[in-house]
């Protein structure tokens, strides 16, 4: 397990991971972080192929919002991607002092088709960290979008029910016509989180994959 270095991070004791072969996420280049942001992340798996948590803080006096999306792209503790940057703009507009980003699949890739190719795209510690972030956030926004492959769609529903069973209220910015939480990247800037009843989420086909066995980086 690797965490980025931050003595104030509540999720884990900060430490540096040993140098090793890095995981290839994709060809997209990270964006520069805002100057006022302090950021941390927790990784796992061969070459840090899983990103379990991402945290951005710009005002530690204010509460945090959590975003729950499908899978990590190129955003890290040192750089943004377009989606995480958009989520940060929303969070600032709503008056939060920071945000968590979690994912229904922790495997890092810019092409979601790769989630179908690895033995465990979820990650063995994903549920643990999703619950931990959600319990620390004042608001949890479900924004997983609609995966291209139908077999990837059930995971978001499972996570939503897991959080609801833990007594954590969920919100969305918008639902698609099929009833799925819409991804935030292309949504209007004026939207605010609205309460979500998880029983209204559609029943989806289940992804058959092996859990507990991380993908090889050979």
Please list, in sequence order, all residues whose beta carbon lies within 8 angstroms of the beta carbon of residue 24, skipping any fewer than 6 positions away: none
pLDDT at res. 214: 52
List C-alpha distances in Å: 129 to 44, 58, 65, 122, 136: 12, 21, 15, 12, 11
Categorize the per-residue pLDDT at 4 as very low, low, confident or very high, splitting at 50, 70 and 90: low
Beta bridge partners of 63: none
> Does 169 have pLDDT greater than 50?
yes
What is the rounded average pLDDT of the residues 14-36?
71
pLDDT at res. 164: 98
> Does 151 have pLDDT greater than 90?
yes
> Does 216 have pLDDT greater than 80?
no
What pLDDT digit, counting tens, does each position of 97-109 carry? 999 999 999 999 9
| E strand map for 7-164 | 38-44, 50-57, 64-69, 98-103, 139-142
pLDDT at res. 208: 47
What is the rounded average pLDDT of the residues 7-13?
47
What pLDDT digit, counting tens, does each position of 182-193 carry? 999 999 999 999
What pLDDT digit, counting tens, does each position of 85-138 carry? 999 999 999 999 999 999 999 999 999 999 999 999 999 999 999 999 999 999
Categorize the per-residue pLDDT at 203 as very low, low, confident or very high, splitting at 50, 70 and 90: confident
> Does 218 have pLDDT greater than 90?
no
What is the rounded average pLDDT of the residues 32-60?
97
The angle, 0 to 180 degrees and rounded to 10, between the axes of the packed helices 154-165 and 126-136 is 50
> Does 173 have pLDDT greater than 50?
yes
């Amino acid at each position: 397990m690797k965490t980025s270095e931050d003595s104030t991070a509540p999720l884990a004791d900060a430490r540096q991971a040993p140098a090793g072969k890095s995981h290839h996420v994709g060809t997209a280049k990270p964006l520069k972080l805002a100057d006022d942001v302090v950021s941390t992340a927790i990784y796992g798996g061969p070459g840090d192929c899983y990103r379990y948590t991402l945290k951005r803080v710009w005002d530690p006096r204010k509460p945090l919002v959590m975003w729950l999306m499908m899978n990590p792209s190129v955003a890290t503790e040192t750089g943004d991607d377009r989606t995480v940057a958009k989520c940060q703009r929303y969070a600032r507009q709503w008056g939060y002092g920071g945000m968590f980003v979690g994912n229904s699949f922790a495997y890092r890739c810019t092409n979601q088709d790769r989630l179908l190719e690895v033995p465990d795209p979820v990650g063995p510690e994903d549920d643990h960290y999703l619950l931990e972030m959600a319990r620390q956030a004042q608001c949890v926004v479900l924004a997983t979008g609609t995966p291209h492959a139908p077999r990837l769609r059930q995971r978001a529903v499972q996570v939503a029910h897991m959080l609801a069973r833990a007594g954590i209220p969920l919100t969305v910015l918008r639902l698609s016509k099929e009833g799925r939480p819409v991804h935030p990247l292309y949504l209007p800037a004026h939207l605010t989180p609205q309460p979500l009843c998880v029983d209204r989420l559609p029943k989806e086909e289940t992804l058959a994959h092996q859990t507990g066995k991380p993908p090889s980086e050979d």
